[in-house]
């Protein structure tokens, strides 16, 4: 089993209110990027359903340089429903109440299961907005509770 020392949160960078299947994201990663599988270990759907992506026994493909010892969790969403005046997508925390509840529950379970794991947002390791919110601020109570 891989030694897990980081749990890294991501967004799918997809439009607010639109759900996407694990198979669709897998297709983007395999056909679009040439990867062997979906990059994330878990996907959190708009309704809060948690679905497995890449098997946990395999390293992910979600955070360059940190995949070997991390778990990648991706919530569906992360950008506004329409493009801005410049035609670009604007990052936005689009998590539904169900996604927020699922993430809270799931993060605590993973922190229990992996006692050395710390919690992070993708944007802590890359010049990206992903996951479109500040993980350290959002989950400060959980991080403090686990002392990590």
DSSP string over 26-70: HHIIIIIH--SS-S-SEEE-TT--EEE-S-TTS--SSSTTT-TTE
Per-residue pLDDT tens, the chain, 148 aa: give them: 689 999 999 999 999 999 999 999 999 999 999 999 999 999 999 999 999 999 999 999 999 999 999 999 999 999 998 888 888 889 999 999 999 999 999 999 999 999 999 999 999 999 999 999 999 999 999 999 999 8
- To the nearest 10°, report the CA torsion of 134, 138, 143, 145: 170
* pTM assigned to the model: 0.95
Domains of the chain (ranges; CATH) run: 6-146 (3.40.80.10)
Phi, psi for 118 (deg, rounded to 5):
-105, 160
Q: Please give the positions annotated as active site.
A: 10, 40, 122, 128, 130
List the one residue out of 66, 84, 85, 92 whose CA is nearest residue 13.
92
């Amino acid at each position: 089993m891989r030694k897990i020392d980081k749990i890294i949160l991501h967004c799918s960078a997809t439009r607010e209110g639109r759900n996407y299947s694990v198979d669709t994201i897998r297709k983007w990663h395999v056909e679009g990027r040439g990867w062997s599988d979906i990059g994330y270990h878990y996907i959190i759907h708009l309704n809060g359903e948690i679905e497995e992506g890449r098997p946990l026994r395999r390293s992910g493909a979600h955070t360059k340089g940190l995949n070997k010892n991390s778990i990648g969790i991706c919530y569906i969403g992360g950008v506004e429903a329409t493009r801005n005046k410049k035609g670009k997508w604007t990052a936005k925390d689009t998590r539904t109440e169900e996604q927020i509840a699922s993430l809270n529950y799931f993060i605590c379970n993973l922190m229990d299961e992996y006692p050395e794991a710390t919690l992070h947002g993708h944007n802590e390791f890359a010049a990206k907005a992903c996951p479109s919110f500040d993980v350290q601020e959002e989950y400060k109570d959980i991080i403090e509770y686990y002392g990590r």
